[in-house]
Structure 1
């Protein structure tokens, strides 16, 4: 059974919890940003949502795609594809008694990479900005996985 007092005293886990809360909040913000763009640009993906843009046959013209909406959606999807593995591997890594300064470096780099990736996606910044941000975040997750397997290999 997990002792919560012990868990709360684990500095690596508490750092992981803090940085992950920020990253997950950023990812949640992307849902709000998508909704904002859909409503302000009157661009909807489902017929039943078109009533926000107008009534009757006129509403159907809002059933379309838009570059800005799609850009926010793709940034959000990219978050989902990268933050979920980070969350699982980072959780296990933080519980494996890693060096605290190394763990915090991993968490900070991942957070910075995801924020920069979103900024690069939404502005948009020219490549290779977005790809470098992706690679940094992906590399951090791989590094944690490698360190976790190296220190706790039970295969």
Structure 2
């Protein structure tokens, strides 16, 4: 892949698949345990609605929220790196490392694995900051 836009697109697709997998994970646990909080969902399967959420669903939701704090920043900063033509090699590495560690973060979040969850989070955030620094140096 000699085009930075291709790398960006691939990373975006991988992050989409990862986020979609979180949704499937939640649905799997709800269906498996027949544990639905929404009355209409529970009624569809003729079970009582639950007052509390399953622990697996709560963790997946927390991982999802964490993605919503980080992945949109990747999209914006990554897009700016592309438009501003930042250093190709460094940008490809940053896109790839960010994506890798977001996947690791989700896996470690869903499985309650520390300190790897924090390490994966920090590694992703460091990538975002380096992208921001590249952008600053490019525009000044």
Over the residues paired in the alignment, what is the CA RMSD in angstroms? 1.9
Q: Classify the secondary structure of the residue corresponding to 1:54.
A: coil
**CA offset at residue 31 of structure 1?**
1.4
Which residue pairs with 2:15 in the alignment? 23
Q: Deviations over 1:46-75 (max 9, x none)?
A: 2222224425xxx13x34221111111111
Q: Does 1:40 align with 2:24?
A: no
Counterparts of 2:37 and 2:81 in 1: how far apart (Å)? 39
Q: Does 1:75 align with 2:68?
A: no
Q: Whose radius of gyration is greater, 1 or 2? A: 1
Which residue pairs with 1:5 in the alignment? none
Q: Classify the secondary structure of the residue corresponding to 2:84.
A: coil
Counterparts of 2:110 and 2:90 in 1: how far apart (Å)? 30
Which residue pairs with 1:4 in the alignment? none
> 1:105-124 to 2 correspondence within 5 Å?
105-124=93-112
> 1:1-155 to 2 correspondence within 5 Å?
11-55=3-47, 59-60=48-49, 62-125=50-113, 127-153=114-140
Q: Classify the secondary structure of the residue corresponding to 1:138.
A: helix
Query: Which TM-score applies when normalising by structure 2?
Result: 0.89
Counterparts of 2:23 and 2:33 in 1: how far apart (Å)? 15
Tell me if the contact between 2:26 and 2:56 (Cα under 8 Å) persists in the aligned partners.
no
Q: 5+ residue gaps in structure 2?
A: none
**CA offset at residue 78 of structure 1?**
1.2
Q: Deviations over 1:72-127 (max 9, x none)?
A: 111111112111111111111122112221111101110111111011111221x2
Query: Which TM-score applies when normalising by structure 1?
Result: 0.81
Give the ranges of 4+ consecutive aligned residues of structure 1 lying more than 6 Å apart after TM superposition.
none
